[in-house]
Copies of this chain bind each other. A is one copy, B any other.
Amino acid sequence: MTLKLGVIGTGAIGQEHIRRCNNVLQGAKVVAVSDINVEGAKAALQRLNIEAEVFADGHDVIKSPNVDAILVTSWDPTHEDFTLAAVAAGKYVFCEKPLAMSAEGCRRVVDAEIKHGKRLVQVGFMRPYDAGYRALKKVITDGDIGEPLMLHCAHRNPTVPESYDTPAAITNTLIHELDVLRWLTNDDYKTVQVVFPRVTSKSHAKLKDPQIVLFETQKGVRIDVEIFVNCVYGYDIQCEVVGELGIARLPEPSAVQTRKAAQLATPILTDWKDRFIGAYDVELQAFINDVKADVLTGPSAWDGFAASVAADACLKAQVSGAIEAIEMPPRPAFYDKK
């Protein structure tokens, strides 16, 4: 039985997800979409050669009796509202990050979901679906390197647009690590500190680049994340876990090795879309399968809330230069993994 999906927001990511659901994945079909630009939505569907009902208002997608589950890929400030509406309607909803514009907003979704009595919300953090991170987590979980003590991470982009400013390093870039490192270590953040190295000459006036973000976790693990978004040389994600018995490192993407022009080399990706492309397919297929099995297992509203709480503390630490506490309330039993 095919799952009928409604997609709210037909911008770049929305179109990607529509194409993915209808042309790549199994078991689901987009039957309705909405966008404030109705004509744009229609044109997009035509380009994709997909037939679906088109609404101007996302709430109509949620209400449509023809729609089983919702994908929220609209303008960020509308995420919370649509997700709350989906929960109110008792429909499963996959909401692209961020779940809301503030930790308080995320908390409202959490509270609504708990009140509803059943997990309905998955947040679009895709790194836990990346084969590399999964292999890394398996090494940790299998005990191959003993208890984790430190993580050394880096998130590097070749360049960013002028609109990207110092806080964006947290909200646009680090946000991925904020989620995936919690998942990887099965731990929560306790404190954060941000330090600013010498600024690269490749940056612009509103952006201090690079930055180093230093966490202590509840278990005492120390995590350092280098964020360097004008690193010029490529899109490069590094994660090294230092354990009591050894060290494990996130796989480099598989690539042809050449011996050429006095260099033994493998290419480094330059476009982030190439890096995690496979993970998006796995993520959305998992959502579809979970909805059909009637039990969500992916990143939850609570995970969205936790990332948001941590991000807020990071932003505070960027300004204060001090070690800031990350005040994370205890996880409700509702979100315990079965």
A interface with B by C-beta (< 8 Å): 23-26, 131-132, 135-136, 139, 144-147, 149-150, 152, 195-202, 210, 212, 214, 216, 219-222, 224, 226, 228, 231-234, 236, 242, 244-270
Contact = CB atoms under 8 A, between A and B. Distances in A.
A248 B258 contact: yes
Contacts of A145: 258, 260
Copies of the polypeptide in the assembly:
4
Given A257-B249, A264-B265, A268-B259, A244 B200 contact: yes
Nearest to A219: B198
B249 A258 contact: yes
Contacts of A144: 258, 260
Contact of A254 (B132, B200, B228): B132
A246 B222 contact: no
B261 A263 contact: no
B259 A233 contact: yes
Contacts of A259: 233-234, 236, 246-247, 268
A147 B198 contact: yes
15 contacts: A136-B256, A147-B201, A149-B198, A195-B216, A197-B222, A228-B242, A231-B242, A232-B244, A233-B247, A247-B260, A249-B257, A249-B258, A251-B256, A262-B269, A264-B266
The interface centre, meaning the residue of A147, A250, A261 with most chain B CB atoms within 10 A of its CB, is: A261
Contacts of A212: 150, 222, 224
A286 to B, nearest CB: 13
Contacts of A257: 248-249, 251
A250 B245 CA distance: 23
Contacts of A269: 262
A117 B146 CA distance: 56
A233 to B, nearest CB: 5
B268 A226 contact: no
Contact of A262 (B135, B136, B234, B261): B234
Given A132-B254, A258-B144, A220 B197 contact: yes
Given A150-B197, A257-B249, A258-B139, A224 B224 contact: yes
Contacts of A136: 256
Contact of A253 (B196, B249, B254): B254
Given A131-B254, A197-B221, A262 B242 contact: no
Contact of A198 (B196, B201, B210, B221): B221
Given A149-B210, A254-B253, A233 B245 contact: yes
B210 A242 contact: yes
Contacts of A249: 256-258
Which 3 pairs across A and B sit closest by C-beta, in order of nearness? A246-B260, A198-B220, A265-B265
A95 to B, nearest CB: 25
A125 to B, nearest CB: 21
Contacts of A263: 233, 263, 265-268
Given A212-B222, A233-B262, 10 more contacts: A131-B254, A144-B258, A197-B220, A210-B242, A232-B245, A246-B258, A259-B268, A263-B268, A264-B265, A264-B266
